[in-house]
Structure 1
Amino acid sequence: MSKYDAKAIQILEDAQAVRKRPGMYIGSTDERGLHHLIYEVVDNSIDEALAGYCSRINVIIHKDGSVSVEDDGRGIPVDMHPEKGKSALEVVMTVLHAGAKFDKKAYRITGGLHGVGIHVVNFLSEWLKAYIKRDGKIYFQWYERGKPQCDVHVVGKIENGNFVWIEDGHDEKFKYSRGTYIRFKPDAEIFETTEFKYSIVKKKLRDLAFLNRGIEITLEDERSGKKEVFKYDGGIVEFVKFLNEGYNPIHRDVVYGKDEQDGIIVEFAMQYNDSTSENLLAFVNTIHTVEGGTHVSGFRSALTKVINDFAKSRNLLKGIDSLQGEDVREGLTAVIHVKHPNPQFEGQTKAKLGNSEVKGVVFSIVNKILSTYFEEHPDVATNIVSKAIAAARARIAARKARELARRKGYLESLDLPGKLADCSEEDPERAELFIVEGDSAGGSAKQARDRHFQAILPLRGKILNVEKARIDKVFKNNEIRALISAIGTGVREDFDYSKLRYGKIIIMTDADVDGAHIRTLLLTFFYRYMPELIEKGHIYIAQAPLYRIQKGKNIYYVYSDEEKEEKLRELGNASVQRFKGLGEMNPQQLWDTTMNPETRRLIRVTIEDAAEADRLFSILMGEQVGPRREFIIQHAKEVMNIDI
């Protein structure tokens, strides 16, 4: 054993510290952590917008795997820092906890909290370029894995809106004549994957455009040629309408309110539809708090109180003592956005708001605005109360259904489903459950698996659409009962995390439209009945290959049309086999490509993924013809590979 003395105490430089423990700063090094890099850079531009200095942001995913983020804000300062003796740009890019967001002089409201965002992106990138356009000049600094490769210096100037380079080696294409331009390439030494997904970036930027009324955000993907512009003058009112596509609203107008108390700005928008689910998105300083927090608690408490007060004042609660929170939230689509000068998040990834004072502020503002709205719009309030009363009666009926299901053994059956091929591993953390589409693929998977730690549950056909079914019907469905029994936790009020039988629950479906549909149905089930499994990172999607390419004795599996074309360019002529489904693969191929932990590609499902799948499902399977038609027209060319 080595000697434990002062020499054993390591002092890591900022870059070393971040690179050694990246998960502490960006949550993970998987696909989710990779995309978090873009969010950190974009959030800096959004902070400029919140401060009133930026109106346009341009994001480009480049062909070389790098990403650039450009804004038309003030530009990061480049003059000498009084304490560090170097350019403020270099300090911002290389020193942890350095920034202009602590004393609230340069920024009153920010998404950044700990001052680690842009530095962490720098430290976890193979290289990063920073161009600052200020005072008619273009300043530049280049970094490799967080270390400056040159001093901050002028490389160009701006004359009559044109960019004139005065130093060779620069060919960046700028869109705005002022502001900050950051281009970075994630480090493959750090991340499990360095391939950015357009759909994931798009959702983040679209949300930001909704939350920042009038801000124009452009997203371009050089790999595919896709380009979209997001700009919403209606702000979160348009956000709620967007989320409600595919549903039937029970009142025409979106209820909107905004006010400020104790320096905290609260903005909310809401509209009820005829579904049985709640869709509440909560944000703090444009940061999506996927795990909620005190602002969500305040909003829900106020909503329950106002609806109960109105119902009792109009004598509408016949046979019911009072409406519970779950009753008044059924069919609710809402967005709440709180702007706080000093938000206290839990963790660097900002998943949950912890400020205790926010609950009371949100409750007070929502209670006041919503009470006034209900008094002025009694017809809308009556519709909402009627739906909540129907939900209360359904809750009582569902409780009886659960009790009946429990008595009949639907929920806590000691017998595992007969179709389940279980594994021998008893430690849930090491055990995996593959949910496989169809008996054919299930047979291959059972032969391919490592039976020590991999269990297989084949499902026959498409499972029940839980979005439209009451809980008593859900419990009677054989495929869902098999799922509940295999996973072991129970659902909703009966959910018990300690009884989880598998640390990884992997959805494995064909790479076609039917497979995407089944995947979406399963995600909707988990999102509505076992959300904790998604929140804690237990749900995954297996990526099956689309093609098998062979040249001589060498075999390659590729997972997209782009990968296929790139591989064919590299290899020249090869035989190409297109996999139409998992059942076409023999057990060895299935193991090599989709099930072997050493070679497979898994995507961890997040709450955002599940929420988006739920929204798309409501569009594709709902009763609203218009939104479904628009969606199909928009995605007609990519129908074989719709990325749900």
Structure 2
Amino acid sequence: MSKNSYNEESIKVLEGLEAVRQRPGMYIGSVDHRGLHHLIYEVVDNSIDEASAGFCKNISITIHIDNSVTIEDDGRGIPVGIHPTMKKPTVEVVMTTLHAGGKFEKGAYYASGGLHGVGISVVNALSEFLEVTVKRDGGVFFQRYEKGKPVTKLEKIGKSNKTGTKIRFRPDIDIFEDLDFSHDVLQKRFRELAYLNPGVKITFNDERIDKKQEFFAEGGIVSYVKYLNKTKNTLLKEPVFIKGIHEDVSVEIAFTYNDGYNEQILSFVNNIHTHEGGTHEAGFKNAYTRIFNNFIAKNNLLKQKVSLTGDDIREGLSAVISVRLHDPIFEGQTKGKLGSTTAKTAVENVMNSTLPDFFEKNINYVKIILDKALQAYRAREAARKAKELTRRKNALEISTLPGKLADCQEKDPDKAELFIVEGDSAGGSAKQCRDRRFQAILPLKGKIINVEKARFDKILSNDEIKAMITALGTGIGHKNFDINKIRYKKIIIMTDADVDGAHITTLLLTFFYRYLREIIERGYLYIARPPLYKVKKGKTEKYIHDEKEMEDFIFKNIIDNIEFPNISKTSYKTILKGLKNYIQIRTKYLKKGFTRELINALAEIDSLTKDSLSDKTFVETLYDELNEKGILKPYNKSYISFNEEFEKYNIIFEKGSEKVIINSELIDSPEFRELKRNFLKIKPLGKRPFEITIDGEKSVFDTYDEMMESLEEIGLKGVYVQRYKGLGEMNPQQLWETTVDPERRVLYKVKIEDAEAADELFSLLMGDVVGPRREFIEENALNVKNLDI
């Protein structure tokens, strides 16, 4: 058969979930981190649908140390009986069949997100394994799948009078680019869901960073608006809340005002965040501007002849819009923009029927909003007049680039680069080392104005900002910004790797985010990554950019200077990494009440599995062995108990009010299995005391901790480490080699992954409200590395 023939044999029939594995992008959008997180959202959305229907109050999500995920709810539990047409357990039908779910039956769920019955089977297809545990009908039922296919039958493993569903899965590394879930992305989504579904408690436990959070909001989207403004000074005593139903579309809107200069509108459809807006947002803006202007005209509240625009009225506005409707129409696969005209009509109708009455009863609110809008109008007029004055200057003055700019010869923006450099000293070095053919340098003197705290007219009068706007060529402001006039399509922020440098980078990012956002969205903005260290050993010098690279350097030095008896040199790095990881994971257990000796003893026992805890003789022998070794001594009380629900034996240790339990949940947890995996890597070291030959001499260590501490000292022996705090510490040649040369430099591209989180963080770090910023610093202080004091 020729390569180009097209006949019956050319048609491949994909059965079951094979089509999903072959074309995952068709089902989850992509196999990058967006698609990866989408798997969690699909399972959680099922639990949220149960909550919306009134059957679920608690949802818990756990990210395990091996990047597997457990999602559990107390809903009705997926049915486990035999399906009438498929002749197999209904839970298996749901897990292995596309378009099998309750969302297709009208009335089962009022309005649901997710993939409408596709979701859970797609998650199963794209997972290395998936385990489902269902509590219902008086029992606990379990089934395991691998790559979408059942590998066990559905079996009853226990008794329970509770109901609910627990799904545990690990995404398939053969499908996804990586399995590294983002804690921040997930916590933001779970917080959203808690606000959009008042009364539902969502618990998020990330075992990788040992952090547990609970999200619960009785106040719904009113609480959400308060949360969004926790870092800002609000102008209204309480947020405005309106709700209603029009033609089977449910609408809820909450809004308030702060003393800032930006508007923030978050919109949702059936719990899905429509980050690009859509018809519901358009309906809100149109109706709000019309209703507000009509009200102030009707009540003669505006004493002067002023025409307020929607932008004036919405300056400082913070709003959340949530609509629920059957079969929403989205523009684009990512569901980022709502296209349903019924949503626009419903929002406008609900606002028309409720907002004028609210204004009548709360005229003081209207006066506060009007005062804010008039300030915005005056600032807009002042900025317009300032621009007109600029336009009156002669053409020669307009075209003049800032004197401090060392421009490049290249005129094609696609090939030209602009470095925005902190300080004259570094700017001077950068000018000397750059390639003047295509690299331009703009040094900034000191710190630019904090645009989060300044009005537009004041921002435009700042010399450093004027220099940047002129150099970029795009102009600034709604009507004057033109991305097509940009002079460089690679803009690189280059600051010192210290506190001041980080502050200047944050000020610049705030400016670009608030006023030149399209430059970020087009992918033109970057941050340079100067080296963190220069290490010198003998005559060899090396630049090191981050802590992981530094760890690898230290490990190499250790390996060059030690010898483990009877172990191949090729295994040394595996042993060192295993030892470091083992100690780190064990430290987490020490915080939970375990002793070093107890964890070490448990890690050593290969036969300790969740199934072995069903064997009474095994558990009693294990208990006796721990007792003989003196491992039970630090505890006041220890005993064996039987868990009837799961028919397993537990060993319990008590010390004061603290309780440590060895049970199937502990033994089967990803964290414990990761501990055992790392223990296997260090098993070749043998029993203590541990012997190592260091520079030809034998050393003996009694504990893993002592050995690791000594090895890390060896890794830095004879090494001179220089930590760079400023670009000015490098001569032009070093700056070129490490940070400027396109062949060798490392750049971070600035992206807006989450506009809401970005808005919150900029307000938090750069705004006027001190309390939340103090909390942020206290919470993150322990995570700081290389603190510059």
Question: Is TM more than 0.5 here?
Answer: yes
Query: What is the match of residue 758 of structure 2?
Result: 613
Query: What is the match of residue 523 of structure 1?
Result: 509
Query: What is the match of residue 56 of structure 2?
Result: 54
The residue identity in structure 1 corresponding to 2:518 is E
Identity of aligned residues (%): 49
In 2, the alpha carbon distance for the partners of 1:125 and 1:558 equals 34
- Is the counterpart of residue 181 in structure 1 residue 167 in structure 2? yes
Q: Is the 8 A contact 1:19 1:124 kept in 2?
A: yes
Q: How many residues align?
A: 622
The residue identity in structure 1 corresponding to 2:4 is K
Query: What is the match of residue 235 of structure 1?
Result: 220
- Is the counterpart of residue 477 in structure 1 residue 480 in structure 2? no
Query: What is the match of residue 63 of structure 1?
Result: 65
Q: Summarize deviations over 1:469-513 as a string: whole Å, max 9, x none.
A: 222332333433344345444333223344455666565656655
Name which of structure 1's ranges 612-621 and 531-540 shifts more when overlaid on structure 2: 531-540
Distance 1:50-1:454 versus aligned 2 partners, 3 A rule: farther
Query: What is the match of residue 630 of structure 1?
Result: 775
Q: Is the 8 A contact 2:452 2:767 kept in 1?
A: no
Q: Is the 8 A contact 1:114 1:348 kept in 2?
A: no
Q: Is the 8 A contact 1:187 1:194 kept in 2?
A: yes
1:382-393 paired onto structure 2 within 5 Å: 382-393=367-378
Residue segments in structure 1 that go unaligned for 5+ positions in a row: 162-176
Of 100, 105, 108, the residue aligned with 2:107 is 105
Q: Is the 8 A contact 1:24 1:348 kept in 2?
A: no
Name which of structure 1's ranges 470-479 and 15-24 shifts more when overlaid on structure 2: 15-24
Query: What is the match of residue 5 of structure 1?
Result: 6
The residue identity in structure 2 corresponding to 1:52 is G
- Is the counterpart of residue 268 in structure 1 residue 253 in structure 2? yes
Q: Is the 8 A contact 2:277 2:337 kept in 1?
A: yes
Query: What is the match of residue 137 of structure 1?
Result: 140
1:452-491 paired onto structure 2 within 5 Å: 459-491=444-476
In 2, the alpha carbon distance for the partners of 1:594 and 1:90 equals 57
The residue identity in structure 1 corresponding to 2:287 is A
Q: Is the 8 A contact 1:558 1:564 kept in 2?
A: no
Query: What is the match of residue 168 of structure 1?
Result: none
Q: Is the 8 A contact 1:68 1:184 kept in 2?
A: no
Of 22, 36, 39, the residue aligned with 1:37 is 39
The residue identity in structure 2 corresponding to 1:190 is F
- Partner of 2:252, secondary structure, is strand
- Is the counterpart of residue 395 in structure 1 residue 377 in structure 2? no
In 2, the alpha carbon distance for the partners of 1:479 and 1:372 equals 48
Distance 1:389-1:351 versus aligned 2 partners, 3 A rule: same
Distance 1:626-1:18 versus aligned 2 partners, 3 A rule: same
The residue identity in structure 2 corresponding to 1:288 is H
Name which of structure 1's ranges 498-507 and 361-370 shifts more when overlaid on structure 2: 498-507
Q: Is the 8 A contact 1:374 1:380 kept in 2?
A: yes
Q: Summarize deviations over 1:172-220 as a string: whole Å, max 9, x none.
A: xxxxx622323323526632x4322322222222222122212111122
Deviation at 1:101, TM superposition (A): 2.1
Q: Is the 8 A contact 2:417 2:492 kept in 1?
A: yes
1:411-560 paired onto structure 2 within 5 Å: 413=399, 415=401, 419=405, 426=412, 428=414, 437-438=422-423, 459-491=444-476, 492-500=478-486, 513-535=499-521, 539=525, 559=546
The residue identity in structure 1 corresponding to 2:111 is I
The residue identity in structure 1 corresponding to 2:514 is R
Give the TM-score taking structure 2 as reference length: 0.68
Distance 1:368-1:180 versus aligned 2 partners, 3 A rule: same
Deviation at 1:267, TM superposition (A): 0.7
The residue identity in structure 1 corresponding to 2:211 is K
Query: What is the match of residue 167 of structure 1?
Result: none
Name which of structure 1's ranges 62-71 and 575-584 shifts more when overlaid on structure 2: 575-584
In 2, the alpha carbon distance for the partners of 1:29 and 1:598 equals 29
The residue identity in structure 2 corresponding to 1:372 is D
Deviation at 1:77, TM superposition (A): 3.8
In 2, the alpha carbon distance for the partners of 1:423 and 1:595 equals 17
In 1, the alpha carbon distance for the partners of 2:202 and 2:471 equals 44
Residue segments in structure 2 that go unaligned for 5+ positions in a row: 556-575, 581-710
In 2, the alpha carbon distance for the partners of 1:293 and 1:48 equals 27
Q: Summarize deviations over 1:236-293 as a string: whole Å, max 9, x none.
A: 1111112112322222111111111111111111111222111111111111111101
In 1, the alpha carbon distance for the partners of 2:101 and 2:541 equals 52
Q: Summarize deviations over 1:334-389 as a string: whole Å, max 9, x none.
A: 11111112211222321111101111110111232221111001111111112112
Of 69, 74, 77, the residue aligned with 2:76 is 74
Distance 1:142-1:258 versus aligned 2 partners, 3 A rule: same
- Partner of 1:467, secondary structure, is helix
Query: What is the match of residue 166 of structure 1?
Result: none
Distance 1:547-1:131 versus aligned 2 partners, 3 A rule: farther
- Partner of 1:276, secondary structure, is coil
Q: Is the 8 A contact 1:79 1:87 kept in 2?
A: yes
Deviation at 1:321, TM superposition (A): 4.6
In 1, the alpha carbon distance for the partners of 2:39 and 2:25 equals 12
Give the TM-score taking structure 1 as reference length: 0.82
In 1, the alpha carbon distance for the partners of 2:482 and 2:449 equals 23
- Partner of 1:59, secondary structure, is strand
In 2, the alpha carbon distance for the partners of 1:530 and 1:220 equals 37
1:362-377 paired onto structure 2 within 5 Å: 362-377=347-362
Query: What is the match of residue 594 of structure 2?
Result: none
In 2, the alpha carbon distance for the partners of 1:361 and 1:423 equals 56
Distance 1:396-1:585 versus aligned 2 partners, 3 A rule: same
- Partner of 1:64, secondary structure, is coil
Distance 1:22-1:467 versus aligned 2 partners, 3 A rule: farther
Name which of structure 1's ranges 194-203 and 623-632 shifts more when overlaid on structure 2: 623-632
Q: Is the 8 A contact 1:344 1:354 kept in 2?
A: yes
Q: Is the 8 A contact 2:68 2:168 kept in 1?
A: no
In 2, the alpha carbon distance for the partners of 1:12 and 1:563 equals 48
Q: Is the 8 A contact 2:221 2:320 kept in 1?
A: yes
Distance 1:619-1:80 versus aligned 2 partners, 3 A rule: same
- Partner of 2:195, secondary structure, is helix
- Partner of 1:271, secondary structure, is strand
